[in-house]
Structure 1
């Protein structure tokens, strides 16, 4: 997969990748594009304090 743009930091890129693949996983299980975006936003906000840490979202 080619990322279409540059990021200022690795953290920004990691968050973009997490969002992209989480949304993709929701569409793969049958959610519509809009519902997948809503669910992804919800999960990112719910776990915003621990996205990549121990027992984090990623």
Structure 2
């Protein structure tokens, strides 16, 4: 695995509770692992590739 970078985020308490329930019921070892997998999946499903830039919003 490549090196990792620590990030911080702000999230609503109810959304975090739902995410924690997801993490506990999944095969993920931690919140970080689950979040990385969700990001990878979202980017793949939505057709984003490394280095690709999204078009400017109008």
Normalised to the residue count of structure 1, the TM-score between the two structures is 0.37
Q: Over alpha carbons, which structure has the higher Rg?
A: 2
- Give the structure, 1 or 2, with the largest relative contact order (CA under 8 Å, sep 6 or more): 1
Higher percent of residues as helix: 1
